Amino acid sequence: MARVVLILPTATYRAEDFVRSADQLGIDITVASEDELPLSPAKSLVIDCAAPEKSAELIVAHADTHRVDAIVAADDQGVEIAALASQELGLPHNEPFGVAATRNKAMLRRALARAEVPQPAFGVVNNSDEAAEAVSDLGAPAILKPLGLSASQGVIRVDHPDDAPAAAERIRRILITEGRSPGEPILVERFVPGLEVAVEGLLLEGRLEVLAIFDKPDPLEGPYFEETILVTPSRLHPEMLDEVIRVTQAATEALELSEGPIHAELRVDGPRVVLLEVAARSIGGLCGRSLRFGLLGTSLETLILRRALAMPIAGLQREGIASGAMMLPIPKSGRLRSVEGTEAALAVPGVTDLEMSIRPGEVVRALPEGNRYLGFLFAKGPTPADVEQSLRAGHAELRITIE
C-alpha cells in the first residue's frame, strides 16, 4: 500500500476532499497539521506550518519508522515543508527556493524579473514615506500588498501617492492582527488593468499540463480585491489563451517548479498578458470541487495524489460541460447572524451545490482585513455564460444578515 504524508493546515478548507480521495485510492496517509484534525486517520503528526525547516525535519524523522512514498501539501502553508522534506528524502520535489518565492511576493517578483517574465512594475518599501515615493515613481494607480498573506488580505489600491501612507499603515495593522511583524516590507506594484484569469495546472517533470483556465467575470479594480466568480472554460480568444499558458510556463521555469500542482493568476490587458501570482499548490478554498476530469469524473485531489505517487492517470481532460464556483463574499465585518434562502439557491437551474464555511454566530471580517469566504456556490451548464448566470441567480436568493 502506498503511503503519503498529507500536510493539512488546521484552517484548510480541503482536508475532507483530500482524505476522501486518499481513501478511494487505497492510500495509507499520515496527516501533518498544527493540531489533530477530527477526520484524521490513526496516524497523525503535529507540525508548525510557520516553521518550515523544523516541520520538514519532523517529517523526515517520521520517515525513519514509517515508509513515505510522497508528501503532498494542500495549501500554501505547507508547500515549503513538502519541498524541503521531499528533497531530504529523495522524493520528487520542487526546488525549495522557488517554492519559498511563491510564498514571498518580493522574492517572486525578483525571480520573475531575472527571467524577464511579464509582470507589474514593482518596488519594495519599508515605511509609509517610501510607499508614497514608490507610488510616485511607479505611477498611480498602484497596489500595496503584504509580502506573505494570501486570499487578497491586505491588498489595497491607491489612486494617488498621498493615499499610500494610510494604506501602508492599514496593512501594518493587519499584519499585527495576523501575528506577523508590523515591520515587514510591503510590496508596491503598478496597477494592471484588464481581465483576470486563473490557470490550474499540473507539472509533469517540468512540463505544464493545463487542467483548466478560469475567467473571473467580476471586475477586480479595487480598492480591495475580493474574488467571487470563477468560470471555465475561458472565453478568451485562443491566441490569448496560448499566451496565458506561455507566460505561466515561463513563470514555473523561472522558479524551477517541476512537479505537482500549480495555480497562477494573470491579467490580460489588450494584447499583453501579465503574471500576478503563481503558487506551488492547487486552487484554494473549495473551488477545486468545480473540476472533474476524464470519463470517470476524477476529482482534482485524486489527480494530485496519483501524480505524487507516479500512479497511472487515465486522462487530464476536463469534463465537456462548463462549470464554475462562486466564493460568497463577506459584505461587511461583524457577527454572522443568519443565512437564509439556501434551498431557493439550490433550486436555481444549473446550481449543483452550496457549502457554507462560516456558521451563524461567528465573527466575520470583510476585506482587506479578512481572509475567508462565507461559503462556496457551484454550478454547471452548457456554456460559461449559463454557469455565470446560474451562480449570480443562486447568490441573489441568499439573504445574509451580519450585525
Burial grade of 358 (CB within 10 A; 0-12, 13-18, 19 or more): middle
Location of C-alpha cell 462560516: 358
What CA–CA distance (Å, rounded) separates 313 from 306?
A: 7
Alpha-carbon distances of 337 from 330, 334, 349, 399, rounded to whole Å: 13, 9, 27, 11
Alpha-carbon distances of 403 from 118, 171, 174, 363, 373, rounded to whole Å: 43, 24, 21, 9, 17
The pLDDT tens digits along the chain (403 residues) read 899 999 999 888 999 999 999 999 999 999 999 987 666 555 889 999 999 999 999 999 999 999 999 999 999 999 999 999 999 999 999 999 999 999 999 999 999 999 999 999 999 999 999 999 999 999 999 999 999 998 899 999 999 999 999 999 999 999 999 999 999 999 999 999 999 999 999 999 999 999 999 999 999 999 999 999 999 999 999 999 999 999 999 999 999 999 999 999 999 999 999 999 999 999 999 999 999 998 789 999 999 999 999 998 877 899 999 999 999 999 999 999 999 999 999 999 999 999 999 999 999 999 999 999 999 999 999 999 999 999 999 999 999 999 9
Burial grade of 1 (CB within 10 A; 0-12, 13-18, 19 or more): exposed
Q: Nearest to residue 78, comparing CAs of 101, 61, 103, 97?
A: 103
The terminus-to-terminus CA distance of the chain in angstroms comes to 51
Location of C-alpha cell 494542500: 74
Q: What number of CA atoms fall less than 13 Å from residue 45's CA on the CB side?
A: 25
pLDDT value at residue 384: 98
pLDDT value at residue 105: 97
Among the residues of 26-122, which ranges form H helices? 52-65, 76-89, 96-102, 105-114
Phi, psi angles (nearest 5°) of residue 85: -70, -40
pLDDT value at residue 192: 97
Q: Nearest to residue 400, comparing CAs of 353, 334, 352, 346?
A: 334
Sheet containing strand 399-402, strands side by side: 363-364, 334-340, 399-402
pLDDT value at residue 39: 60
Question: What pTM was computed for the model?
Answer: 0.95
The 8 Å CB, 24+ separation contacts for 214-220 are: 214/324, 215/384, 217/388, 220/196
pLDDT value at residue 227: 93
Determine the number of helices (DSSP H) and then strands (DSSP E) in the chain: 11, 21
Domains along the sequence of the chain with CATH:
3-101 (3.40.50.20), 121-190 (3.30.1490.20), 322-403 (3.30.470.20)
